[in-house]
Amino acid sequence: METTQTLTNEMQQVLQTLKVDSLNPAYSTGLHSGSATEGGATKEIHSPVDGALIGSVKMADEAIYEKVVEQAQKGFMVWRKMPAPQRGEIIRQIGLKLREYKEPLGKLVTYEMGKIYQEGLGEVQEMIDICDLAVGHSRQLYGFTMHSERPNHRMYDQYHPMGIVGVISAFNFPVAVWAWNAMIAAVCGNVVIWKPSEKTPLTGIACQNIVAEVLKENDLPEGIFNLVIGDAEIGSLMSHDRRIPLVSATGSTRMGKKVGEAVGARLGKSLLELGGNNAIIITEHADMEMAIRATVFGAVGTCGQRCTSTRRLIIHESRYEEVKERLLKIYPSLSIGNPLDGKTLVGPMIDHEAVANFKKALQNVQQEGGKLLVGGEVLEGESYASGNYVKPAIVEAEPQYEMVQEETFAPILYLLKYQGEVEEAISIQNNVKQGLSSAIFTQNLLEAETFLSYQGSDCGIANVNIGTSGAEIGGAFGGEKDTGGGRESGSDAWKFYMRRQTNTINYSTELPLAQGIEFNI
């Protein structure tokens, strides 16, 4: 992407506030002692908003990676000894520091990734919320006590930290998903090595700076939270590294399969959050006002680049024309433009490659027989000079179309019709490889309960009268099938970041064996 303008004074101030030395490539090595000669190639980072050069980062090579792992190993020796409530206190301070930097960090998220400013602020709020949740976990990392079949024996299980947790995050949520993993992993006693997306590394540097302030104020080593900026080679090193017992990876199914295969080959643990081909079902009993609002937000928010974006709309035939008419009135009036403008609803796509995929998907689905109803254009003009702005598209299609079956990371909404009972709609929804998020809009209790039952949605997230996007921190986030099966964030997801141990204590002078086995010497 070519630079179209220089950084505004506002963005220069944001980078300065976040202590992101965007013109010093050495800073991105993850080692504050790094020099300009360390690491691999230098990568320029341009904003999808206006094409301006935000900064340059030095991509890590294997030597830098080794230094970061060594730093993390040393940090673990210190961090694991701290009682969990004390670890929680550090996480609490990180949450407070994030509150201080919420506005500038939210702006940097918007400028580097392209989502509207309200979503940028919301992403930072997710980080704050997960810190609060982790603080609560710090006093509730419970094990269980069990009754032994042997007299005068006590049995219980407990959870211990694993060591280094590797986090590979995607560009669409450049900071929140890291925090989901990092704060829970850290409060459990682990240290973290984070490889952010090479498309959005500056927000990663900003977060590293914020955390480093807290660690320094508490005389803790830098190796508790570690950053390494690199390409797929670094992700591969992490996946194959036996020193990293758990790798959490967020991104495409293709990427996740490579990570899962590499980690599985060494019998490590992988937490995979991958593709989503999410659907909303609108039944004949739906509240139409709620359904339309949820559909538009889910389909065009973040310019269709959320893993939970609404991609398929499954509509009962009795409401189909009404839904289509409503959407065709709304889409042409969507405000598309600079995401830092408070009036904008749809910002840019991440880069030219994403725009090309958007155009290709629309071309392919029309070749299959799909009918493009609205949108699909790439916007031109001074306000869209970066070349990343598109008009969200609506396509009438059939469930079996290849493009409908695939996840296209773009603002394309497929309208699908069903005729019978809700079971037919659920079957259409489930008949894809992905299984992340799903939703139904209905005022009918039987339809709602069927959707949530064992014969209903096969996704990790199933909502009633709520859209597919907007998960809360308190619930476990993740999906099934090609989505990977991982669970992050709330509920009891913390257990995956720890190793479980069963303990039996004999407080008698005898040595009885389980199952009544006699073994006399």
Instruction: Identify whether the C-beta of residue 164 lies closer than 8 Å to the C-beta of residue 191.
Output: yes
Instruction: Identify whether the C-beta of residue 296 lies closer than 8 Å to the C-beta of residue 426.
Output: no
The active-site residue, picked from 188, 303, 307, 459, is 307
Could you tell me which residues come within 8 angstroms of residue 346 by beta carbon, excluding any fewer than 6 positions away?
Answer: 116, 300, 301, 303, 334, 335, 336, 337, 392, 411
Q: Which of 352, 471, 327, 317 is nearest to 413 (CA)?
A: 327
**H-type helices in 349-500, by residue range?**
352-368, 402-405, 422-430, 445-452
CA angle 21, 27, 33 (to 5 degrees): 130
Is 307 a catalytic site residue?
yes
Instruction: Identify whether the C-beta of residue 96 lies closer than 8 Å to the C-beta of residue 243.
Output: no
Name the burial class of residue 113, with classes exposed (0-12), middle (13-18) and buried (19+) by CB atoms within 10 angstroms of its CB.
Answer: buried
Q: Which of 196, 202, 225 is nearest to 90 (CA)?
A: 225
Instruction: Identify whether the C-beta of residue 189 lies closer than 8 Å to the C-beta of residue 91.
Output: no
The number of CA neighbours under 13 Å toward the Cβ of 415 is 23
CB atoms inside a 10 Å sphere around CB 253? 20
Strands 278-282 and 437-441: parallel
- Six token digits for residue 328: 């065709």
- Six token digits for residue 509: 């002078």
Q: Which residues pair with 195 in a beta bridge?
A: 168
Is 273 a catalytic site residue?
yes
The active-site residue, picked from 112, 273, 447, 488, is 273
Using CA atoms, how far residue 83 sits from 80, 89, 90, 129, 226, in Å, is 8, 10, 11, 22, 21
Number of residues in the chain: 521
Q: Which of 387, 335, 347, 297 is nearest to 115 (CA)?
A: 347
Q: How far apart are CA 151 and CA 17, in angstroms?
A: 64
Active site residues: 273, 307
